[in-house]
Amino acid sequence: MPLHMPVHGYSPYTNMPKVIAHRGASGHAPENTAAALQTASKMRATWVEVDITVTSDGVAVVFHDSDVNRCTNGRGLVIKQTLAELKTLDAGSWYSPFHSDEKILTMMELLTLANQLDLNINMEIKPTIGRETETVWAMKQALRSVPFDNTLLLSSFNYRALMAAKEFLPEYPRALNVEAIPRDWAARMDDVGATGLHFALDFFDRKAVEEIIETGTPLACFTVNDLETAQRLWAAGVTAVFTDYPDRLLLDARRVEHH
Ligand code: G3P
Ligand code: MG
């Protein structure tokens, strides 16, 4: 087994910092672009979350929405466009004219950049419904082409995507994403072999969170953009928060870690 691959049973939560840059530092640069990753790194984030989906010609790309309307100057569904078509789009001007050179990143480009910046990655699998296996298969091709040096955690809201990850990328740990924490969270995690549970801030409930943490299950919460809320979550035992503004939380995160 190559050295960069986590050994079976390895928990990415053991050394996870308290702050993960959400879609890169997406409060300061266009989400999921090279600029967002570079900004996260400059702000001293060591983990980033990005969204991964697939093109019509089977290439894994870094993109949140199913269509390109919000985050590029193009129109239409990602799954219906080739990589060559998607690469003609401007993925930065919607955010600011200073970012007009940003392009949609392939997962291979993401891995290369994250290796250069020494970033750990949580890749959230965002498949078009019905194309879950193709999405994970494309991710496997990217990882074959560009071996990743750091920790890679896969996650998804999508059951089929997680099952495909379990089958095709079993060497990488998985997390289950939910909005509200379901009552049968343990069974759902077992089903997909998830080692962590990621939930939405709107559904934070201290008692439920404490009960889950008592079982030794690591939790992460999205999306937390103010320090006071982050502190409440950390105090309740949440391992990490996803934030669009790592600079707002990071100094304090380091201080808390040293206690
Ligand atoms: O992976 C955590 C979070 O990113 C999930 O929601 O919509 O921001 O991708 P979303
Ligand atoms: Mg996401």
Q: State whether the beta carbon of 200 lies less than 6 angstroms from ligand 1.
A: no
Question: Residue 153 C-alpha to ligand 1 middle, in angstroms?
Answer: 14
Query: Which residues are catalytic, by number?
Result: 22, 64
The CATH number of 16-28+41-52+107-258 is 3.20.20.190
Total residue count of the chain as it appears in this document:
259
Mean pLDDT of 233-246: 97
| Residue range 45-89, pLDDT digits in tens | 999 999 999 999 999 999 999 999 999 999 999 999 999 999 999
Q: What is the structure's pLDDT at 155? A: 98
Distance CA(113)–CA(34), nearest Å, equals 8
Which atom of ligand 1 is found nearest the CA of 126? Answer: 9
Ligand nearest to the CA of 222: 1
Q: State whether the beta carbon of 51 lies less than 6 angstroms from ligand 1.
A: yes
Which atom of ligand 1 is found nearest the CA of 49? Answer: 1
Pick 4 or 83 by higher pLDDT. Answer: 83
Q: What is the structure's pLDDT at 253? A: 61
Q: What is the structure's pLDDT at 4? A: 35
Distance CA(92)–CA(31), nearest Å, equals 9
Which atom of ligand 1 is found nearest the CA of 198? Answer: 2
Q: What is the structure's pLDDT at 10? A: 73
Q: What is the structure's pLDDT at 29? A: 98
The DSSP string of 68-98 is STTTSS--SBGGGS-HHHHHTS-SSTTT-GG
| Residue range 102-126, pLDDT digits in tens | 999 999 999 999 999 999 999 999 9
5 pLDDT above the threshold of 50: no
Contacts of 118 (CB under 8 A, 6+ apart): 41, 46, 149, 150
Mean pLDDT of 137-141: 98
| Residue range 13-31, pLDDT digits in tens | 999 999 999 999 999 999 9
Pick 8 or 213 by higher pLDDT. Answer: 213
Q: State whether the beta carbon of 177 lies less than 6 angstroms from ligand 1.
A: yes
Q: What is the structure's pLDDT at 226? A: 96
2 pLDDT above the threshold of 60: no
Pick 191 or 8 by higher pLDDT. Answer: 191
1 pLDDT above the threshold of 50: no
What are the structural domain ranges in the chain?
16-28+41-52+107-258
Distance CA(104)–CA(126), nearest Å, equals 15
Q: What is the structure's pLDDT at 6? A: 40
Q: What is the structure's pLDDT at 245? A: 98
Q: What is the structure's pLDDT at 117? A: 98
Q: State whether the beta carbon of 244 lies less than 6 angstroms from ligand 1.
A: no
Q: What share of the chain is helix, strand, coil (3-state, %, to 5)?
A: 35, 20, 45
Residue nearest to atom 1 of ligand 1 (CA): 124
Residue nearest to atom 5 of ligand 1 (CA): 222
Pick 141 or 251 by higher pLDDT. Answer: 141
| Residue range 193-236, pLDDT digits in tens | 999 999 999 999 999 999 999 999 999 999 999 999 999 999 99
Q: Are 222 and 201 in contact (CB under 8 A)?
A: yes
- Position 7 confidence tier, pLDDT thresholds 50, 70, 90: very low
Q: What is the structure's pLDDT at 220? A: 98
